[in-house]
Amino acid sequence: MTTLDILIPHYNDPEGLALSLRSISRQVWKGEYRIVVADDGSRPDHLRSVKRIVERSNLKIDAVYNDINRGRPYTRNVLLDSIDSQYVAWLDSGDEWYPTKLASQFSTIRLINSACTSRPFWVTCNYDWMWVGGKKKRLTQHTHNDQLKDLLIGSRLRAYLWTLVGSSSSFKDVGWFDERLPRMQDLDFFIRFILHGGSLKSPQSSDTMCVYHKSDVGRNAKEIRACNSYIFDKHRVLYNRYGQTFKHMRLYQMDMLAARFAQNNNDRKQKNYYLWCAFKRRPKLMVKHVLKMGLKA
């Protein structure tokens, strides 16, 4: 029988954890699964809530508790160590799976396995992106082009662990999450998977299969930009592979992303700084962006 470990990192969001667990309980897939929740040193009141949720749940849940807050990549490494099933899926606290997600992805896995492929693969899926207080936006994972290039661009194919199902070995063989990346360790992990010969697959269904509840509030623009810089330096040879224009566009987009985070956290000084950095890299493109935003306003 197919067995699955569902890995959930958690930090100071018991209501989000409860939401995620409810979405797991609604899955139509009937395989055997185990949920592993790793709490990353939540504050005492939230930790008590997490323990109550785990104790009262009808789901099979194993819980791991970090004594202190160690960060998302460390906690994901704890979860990697906990894997004990044939397959693995990830889900972040506060996000949701739609009921057919696992069933559709395992149907795809069966089709790929029947072709006797030896190349490691992860099955991703389309998803809804829902800004807090806003409407859902459908996003499609395009897996039929140059996957490495599309991951570096980050618009047609995005590095989100909670979209995935794959074999245990396909995750373990990538190695540890980079603990020097407090943010965006997903992207680094995806890049390394592709470089190790891995491939991303999509289900036959074009339906969205999960929802990402998105908010920039409380996220540090400087930290986001630093993580992007670290990934750029770590994988510079890959950015160089696609030429100077590609590389400069990626740096421009990194500055624009940091400006967005600063704006959404009401930090005008940082926003203007990153917009100026973006302007210096691609002045014509920045002018077009400003004019476009002016027309929308």
Q: Quick check: 211 and 136 in contact, CB under 8 A?
A: yes
| Whole-number pLDDT of residue 215 | 84
Q: Which of 77, 231, 83 is nearest to 166 (CA)?
A: 83
| Whole-number pLDDT of residue 297 | 44
Q: Which residues contact 184 (CB under 8 A, 6 or more apart)?
A: 159, 224, 227, 228, 231
Q: Which residues contact 276 (CB under 8 A, 6 or more apart)?
A: none
Compute and round to an integer the Cα radius of gyration of the chain. 20
DSSP E strands: which ranges in the chain? 3-10, 32-39, 61-65, 87-90, 96-97, 121-123, 126-131, 136-139, 165-167, 199-201, 208-214
- The pTM assigned to this predicted structure is 0.95
**Which tokens is 47 given?**
């930790």
Low-confidence ranges of the chain (pLDDT < 70): 1, 293-297
Give the span between the Cα atoms of 150 and 169, in whole angstroms: 24
DSSP state letter for 129: E
| Whole-number pLDDT of residue 183 | 95
| Whole-number pLDDT of residue 135 | 87
Instruction: State whether residue 183 is helix, strand or coil.
Output: coil
Give the span between the Cα atoms of 261 and 222, in whole angstroms: 9
Strand 136-139 to 126-131 pairing: antiparallel
Q: Quick check: 134 and 124 in contact, CB under 8 A?
A: no
Give the span between the Cα atoms of 184 and 93, in whole angstroms: 16
| Whole-number pLDDT of residue 1 | 61
Instruction: State whether residue 165 is helix, strand or coil.
Output: strand
Give the span between the Cα atoms of 210 and 99, in whole angstroms: 9
C-alpha to C-alpha distances, 168 to 16, 91, 171, nearest whole angstrom: 26, 15, 6
